[in-house]
Each structure stands twice: as C-alpha cells, then as structure tokens.
Structure 1
Amino acid sequence: MIRYPKPLKAGGTIGITAPSSGVPEALHPILAGGIEQFKKRGFKVEVGKTPWTNEKTASAEASIRAAELNYMLQDSNIETIIPPWGGEILMEILPLIQWDQIQPKWILGYSDTSTLLFAITVITGIATAHGTNLVDLRSNEWDETTKKFMDVLTGTEGDTIIQSSSEKYQSEWNHDKQPNPYVYELDTPTSWKTLNGKPLNVDGRLLGGCIDTLQNLVGTPYANIKSFREKYVKNEKILWYLENCEMSATDFYRSLLQLHYAGWFEQSSGIIFGRTSAGEEVNGFSTFDAMERLSQMTGLPIIYDADIGHVPPQITLVNGAKAEVKVENGLASVKMELK
C-alpha cells in the first residue's frame, strides 16, 4: 500500500536542500527569488548550506549532501522538501540515505531529483511529487499548469487531483529573463500525441522520472521494481512516465531496451513520454522510431510530447498515485487519486 505524506499546512515549513547540484554564485538571485516567493505566501523556509554552493557538478561532497538531506527527511518540523533543481550525480548519495528513518513528507522536483523521488517511492512506498523546481517558482504569479503542484503538496490521502495539458510551452531556456508575469516564456502551442494519432485512455499507478538518470539504477538496490510491485501495488499495473533530457535517439532507444530487458515494463498499462529538446536523429533513426519499436515489443500504448520534464511547463505527477490519463486531439487530462 502506498503511503501519502501529510499535507503542507498554511504557515508550514519547507526545507531547501541540494542533494544533487547546488546553485553557482552568479545564479544565487534566482534561488533567493524562489525562496522569497514561499515566504511571501506565508510559509516558513529552512534553507540548508548545500543550495548555495556548487563544484564539479555537485553542491558538496556526497557525505555532506546526504547528511543535510537525512536531517530534513527526519525532522518532523519540516513538512515539505524542495531542492533548487536537479543535476548530475545524485545517485552517489543513495547508499548514505537512512531509508528506515524517512518521515513521509512531500518532496518535489524533476531532472536528477527524480532519481531520489523514484528510489524513495520504490524502496519505502512513500509517494513523491515529480514537478517543478524551486528556481522556477521565483515569480509573483505561477502559470496555470505549474501552480497545480500546490494541490499536491497541500493534498492528503483520499484526495482527487485533476490537471489538464498546457495551452503553450517554452521553446528555449533563459535564466536571465525577468518574470513577466511568469518565469516561463510560453510561446509554442502544446499538443500531446499518441503513436497512432487516435484518442487514448489509460490508467495505472504512476512511476517514473528522467530516463537519463533512472536507467543507471537498473540492477541496483534502489530500483527493485519487482519488490515494489509485490510490496506496494500488488495486482495493479504501473503507468510509466519518462522524459529524455540529453540523449540522442539511439541513446534513448538503448535505455528503453535496458528497462524493457530488466522487466520494468511488465505488469504495466502504458508509457507517457515528456516533451524534449533532445533526441537527435542518428542516420535517420528518430525517437519516434524508438517509441514505436518499444510499443511493438511490449504491446503498451504510448503517449508523447506530454507536459513533463525539461521543456516546461509541467504537470505534477505523484509516484505511486492512481491515475487516469486521457488524450484526444492534442488535449490531455490527468486524474490522480491519492489512495
């Protein structure tokens, strides 16, 4: 049975720690801006030391990052944890996490943060929230898609949360952009797609994240999908969501084959792939070819160009939650039940 964290209360405390990359000094203003927005909304914010430092792709040595994260995971006064953003080598702290002492609380993020979210849900059965990063919440207003993360953080077991596909997405990143009124420059029409172009309705227990980092957990104690199924979602199907940050089409396909051969897609209902600016074709082989071949091998329906990942905005997906996803004519709805 999936365990859901207690809701973030009005005036509650949010912990900010960087288990992967910290924020370099030149970008400290965007970190401070994200922190300030939660204070403006009446929340207390406890900021660790790691968000403010970064060297060789990590905020600090693995032991320091793990110690700060363990403290925030175990402190009952901290109700929610939001890292500043992702990074590259979060997985090196996984052996240092005190898994049996984690107190259920919402943890929010994506990119390399999804490495942590995924492992926590798979190992402990505690639901986690795959959604926006702290630095992208530095505006006075949050766009309609992004702001649904608050429905999750303030949600409680038994709640139903409904989200819709965005109207537009951001085609390019610009951290120097001043919010007007949002952090994102939403400039390109959104269209969720299915492989065959037909309407699709699929449901299951959500699980996923950034495939660039998750693929490296295959065969480790932090991604025992068979055990997760037996302990927490027995006799239920998994609805996977994955997003490609940097991989070419062939890298992407090899990663999908690895997950398939490892049995991840057994007892599953479908796969949702996020929008990506990656996926460069290799000798005519495209990410569409990769998805099409995976669907043929697994028999699973596939949705792609979804509001997930490194091409914002993104909906917030709860690892472990029951979900029903409908796609028709480029529009999508996501119904999540926290039970």
Structure 2
Amino acid sequence: MGIIIKPPKLQVGDTIGIITPSFPAPVQFEGRYQRGVEQLKRMGFKVKEGTCTYKTEGYRSSSIRDRADELNAFLHDPEVKAIISTIGGTNSNSVLPYIDYEQLRRHPKIIMGYSDVTAILMACYAKTDVVTFYGPAIVPSFGEYGGMFETGEQYVKDILCLERTAPFQLHIPDEWTEEMLDWSTQQRIKTFQPNEGWISLKDGKAKGTLIGGNLNTMSGFFKSDYYPDLKGAILFLEDSFKTMAEEERSLSMLKLAGVFDEISGLIIGKHEHFQDQSAPFSFNDLLLEIIGEKDFPILTNVDIGHTFPSHVFPIGIQVELDTTNGIIQLFRRWGIGMKEHLTIFDENHRKIGEKERNQVHVDGDWHETFHCWFWKEDLIYLQRRSMDKQDFPGKYDITAAGHLATDETIANGVREIEEELGLSLTFEQLTFMGIFEDVIELDEFLDREFAHTYGYVYQDETLRFDDQEVMDVVAVQRNELMSITAGRMCTIEGRSLMTNHLVQVTQADLVPHRQTYWQNVFESLTRMDASNR
C-alpha cells in the first residue's frame, strides 16, 4: 500500500454526481429518489444525475459498460466533487474491470455508497490508495420519509464536510431503527428504539487502517486484484437480511483465506433483520467459534450499514479501536491533502492572505506550523520520517510537527502527536518554548515557517507509529545533537524506541534546519531544564 490519497472535502455549493451501479432504485421508487435529491439540495449541494438514473433492465439499471461509463463520466467531470450511489443491489462488482482508476488517482474525489457498492469502494481504494466512504445512499437514507434523520445527516457532514477535526471519537447514537415500511405506501416516520450501545466481544486496543463493508458483497470479488490488502487493518463488516447459516459461510470464507490471521481488529455493524433460524446460539457465539483463539479486539452492534442512523466510515484512514471502552477513534483528517489552505504572513508575522499548501512551498510564503520536541533529562527524541513522505523521506526531524491550516488554532496542533506517534496528550501538558523562524531552502522548495514550538517531558509512554508518517523515534544525547548540528561532530549514536538497537545518525541524516533554529531549540530546553530544577 502506498501513501494515502485524500480527496478534497465537500463544501456547500459543490456538485454531487449520482450513480446507479446496480439496482434501478430511481425507477422503482421515484418519489423516494426525488426526496433524496431534494435533501441534498437543502444541504446546500448541486446535483447531477447520472446516465443510468432513469434506466432499468429488471434487476439492474443498465448494461455493465453503461454503468461503468456513468461512473467514469463523473470521475472526468471537473464540476463533480463527490459521487454518491442511489442504492446498492447485487451486481456492482461487474463494473470493476472498467473503472478509470488512473483518473481517480490523478484527480481524487469523494465516492460514497454502501451495501453492494462495497465492491466499488474497496476496489477504488485497492487500486488507487484514494480514501472512499462507506455511508448513506440517496434512496434509503437521504430520501427518508419526513427528511433524512438528523443524526445521520450530521454524520455525513462530520466526515464529508470535515465539520469535526480528527482525532475524534465516533458518537454512539441514543436510538436506532431497523423498521421496514413499504416505501411505496409509507405515511409515517419510522419508530426508533433505545440503543444498547457498542458491545465488546473481545477487550483490547488496536490501531490500523479502516477497511471493510458489506460481508455478503465481498464474496463477489474477494481476494481478487480489486480487494485491498488487510494486513494490520481494522476490518469492519455489516450485513442485511441474512441467516445464521449464510453468516457462517461468509465468515468461514474469511477464515479460510487467512483474514483473521492478518487483521489487528474487527468491527461488526448492526445486522438489519438478522434471521437466527432458531439456532441455540447467538451470532456473537458463532463469530467467536469461527475466529477461534485469535487475540484481537472485537466490537459489535456498531451503527454502520443498513440500520439508521449510520455512520460514515472512510476506507483507508487510520483509526484506533478500543473495545474495552467501546470507542472508535478517527486519527487522521482524511481531507487534509489535496486542498489544504494555509494562512500566509509577511516577514514580520503579519497576516496577508491564504493559499493552498503546495503553492505556499513553491512561492516560499511564510506560514505557521506546530512543533513539539520530546525530551527527558539529557536526551532529546528525533522522529525518523517515513520513506513514503514526499519531503525528506527517511530523515531525522522534530519529534512531532505539522502545518496549521487556516481553520485551526495553535492548540489544534496537538493532534500531530496523536496522529504520528499514537500518544494522546492535551495541549496543557506541553510547555511553550517560543515562536521560532524555521527556514529550509532547496531547489524549487522554500519552506519558511513561524514555528509555534513546544516541549514535552517524555515519560516512556508506549508510542504507536503511523507508518505512513513515521519509521521510528530515536533518543540521542542533547549535547551531541547540538554538536552535530553545529558541525563539531560528524556522527552521533542514538537508541531506537522501536527496536531498542543503537543507530548512527550523521549530519546528512537530519532534515536541514538552519543553525539559528537549532540554537533556539537548545537554548529554550536549557531554560526549561533550569526552571525544572
């Protein structure tokens, strides 16, 4: 798996393209479909209907090629910022060989659906590393009688519109429903029941890439080139109207393929109208019987899939699953990549405007960042950047750092520590060191930062690295790091926190911060030393 590619967030005024890759729901349930379109418009979006919207061939909207062409047209349409399916069905897997994956990789955009659309979502992620979204569809969710359920609408805004900033814990709704009412004759809002919460089947905590979808659909492309690598993943599964016998077959398929040997955690969504066939055991009993002695955390009864309200799960982002406390935490702001805007300043730190991040580095604009140095007694901790990083791969750098986007405060910078190192700290636990000018100048790259710099006295907490960001953290002697950055030493020795082995660090191994930056850091740490005595 390569570097995660993050599509731009959805904003009011953006255009959403609607696809019908399987069942012809807009024809079968036209009134409900139209309500779904109006719901999107009330939320502030424009709508483009796909070429298969009003087509029907019985069980499917149109031919395989037509359905693929509908999706590809929206991938190539610069006006369309998101693509949402009308409903699921049975045959979305048919279009997988004909999707223009290279276009999606070059021009990422949101693709959302659920149920049978699992095939498209997982294939697009597997082929491109672009984050896709398992969430509500137009007819069943946005077209709900009386309007989309408020909680479900907010879940969409939280994720697609980034109304919540990661890291954050997913909300457990107070109530839920699986009530089935005839869509053709429905004249009342569905009845809700109290939510008993998310249930730990196996206690524990794990971090990994969130991947998954509808279990029944997976059988149509499982272990093909369109199925993602699940090594270390947090796998989520949900299903609808299946029997105990069918679930035993599907779960055993995963076991036989070695899935339960690969994943680091499992999330099971609420099963809409599950049929236990009078079995003398529960679904959870069956799951444990099939999984056997595997020791990874399992959380069940989660609100994802066919019941209401349903969360939106971004496929491809880092999450932490804490089943002991019933928590799913999203770590990474999936939309930070493509259109992240930074506030730019003049050389006196006066705000002069905003600009896209990539252009800021081309133009050499001053902007703000968050730096945090871990230290303890005579030690200071260097992060070794992932080899997947675009800038300075494999180099040693600040313990944790990141840009401050236009919509973020300095306190929001603490998220970098959790995203990169898996350590949850509050802003109040950090000590202010200063605002330091940090300039790095290379060919076609000029990074000029006003770095809001903080220190943290490391207490040997366990760190969990995001391998897309960090390879290792190495403890070195502060006085030796001071000497090598000043050119008085060529090589220093440190100890890897990952392997506990000694490693050698040369000046060429360091990200090339200017000497003035290093001096500010060391002088500030010396002052902090004195104040702690």
**Contact (CA 8 Å) 2:255, 2:291: kept in 1 or not?**
no
Q: Unaligned stretches of 5+ in structure 1? A: 230-236
* Equivalent residue, structure 1, for 2:255: 260
The separation in 1 between residues aligned to 2:96 and 2:248, in whole angstroms, is: 26
Q: Where do residues 112-191 of structure 1 align in structure 2 (5 Å cutoff)?
A: 112-135=116-139, 136-138=141-143, 139-140=146-147, 142-155=149-162, 159-174=166-181, 175=183, 176-178=185-187, 180=189, 184-191=190-197
Does the CA-based 8 Å contact 1:171-1:187 persist in structure 2?
A: no
CA contact (8 A) 2:35 2:147 kept: no
The one of 240, 244, 248 aligned to 1:249: 244
Moved more, 32-41 or 63-72: 32-41
After TM superposition, the score normalised by the length of structure 2 is 0.56
Aligned to 2:150, the other structure's residue is in SS state: coil
Instruction: Output the amino acid matched with 2:216.
Output: D
Q: Secondary structure at the match of 1:45?
A: strand
Segment of structure 1 superposing worse, 36-45 or 59-68 = 36-45
Shift of the alpha carbon at 1:293? 1.9
Q: 1:328 to 1:131 in 2, by over 3 A?
A: same
Moved more, 18-27 or 206-215: 18-27
- How far did 1:73 drift? 1.7
Pairing partner for 1:192 from 156, 173, 198: 198
* SS at 2:220 equivalent: helix
Task: Please state how far the C-alpha of 1:179 moved relative to its aligned partner.
Answer: 6.8
Structure with the higher fraction of residues in strand conformation: 2
Q: Deviations over 1:249-306 (max 9, x none)?
A: 2321222222222233344211111111224246535422321123424322211111
Instruction: Give the whole-Å Cα distance in 2 for the aligned partners of 1:110 and 1:122.
Output: 17
Matched, 1:301 2:301: no
Partner Cα separation in structure 2 for residue 25 and residue 105 of structure 1: 27
| 1:215-273 alpha-carbon deviations (Å, 9 max, x no partner) | 221232211527xx5xxxxxxx2100001223322321222222222233344211111
Q: How many residues align structurally? A: 324
Aligned letter for 2:162? G
8 Å contact 1:250–1:282 — kept in the other structure?
A: no
Q: Who is 2:286 aligned against?
A: 290
Q: Secondary structure at the match of 2:61?
A: coil
Q: Given that residues 203 and 269 in structure 1 are in contact (C-alpha distance below 8 angstroms), is that contact kept between their aligned partners in structure 2?
A: yes
Gap runs ≥5 in structure 2: 335-533
What is the TM-score with the length of structure 1 in the denominator? 0.86
Counterpart of 1:337 (choices 332, 341, 348) is 332
Counterpart AA for 2:15? T
User: In the TM superposition, what are the counterparts of 1:23-34 in structure 2 within 5 Å?
Assistant: 23=25, 25-34=27-36
Preserved contact between residue 109 and residue 132 of structure 1 (Cα < 8 Å): yes
Using the TM superposition, give the Cα deviation of residue 99 of structure 1 relative to its aligned residue in structure 2, in angstroms.
Answer: 1.7
Aligned to 1:325: 321
| Cα root mean square deviation, aligned | 2.5
CA contact (8 A) 2:208 2:233 kept: yes
Assess, with a 3 A threshold, how the Cα gap between structure 1 residues 282 and 101 changes in structure 2: closer, same or farther: farther
Establish whether residue 63 from structure 1 lines up as the match of residue 69 from structure 2.
no
Preserved CA contact (<8 Å) 2:177 2:192: yes
On the 8 A contact 1:308/1:315 being kept in 2, the answer is yes
Alignment of 1:196-275 (within 5 A): 200-225=204-229, 237-275=232-270
1:173-228 CA-partner distances (Å, limit 9, x unpaired):
22344575xxx5323434211225xx6544321000000011221232211527xx
Shift of 1:111: 0.5
Residue identity (%):
27
User: For 1:6 and 1:24, how far apart are their aligned partners in 2?
Assistant: 28
Whole-angstrom CA distance in 2 between matches of 1:119 and 1:207: 11
Structure showing greater radius of gyration is: 2
**Is contact 2:297–2:321 with CA below 8 Å preserved after alignment?**
no
Match of 1:232 in 2: none
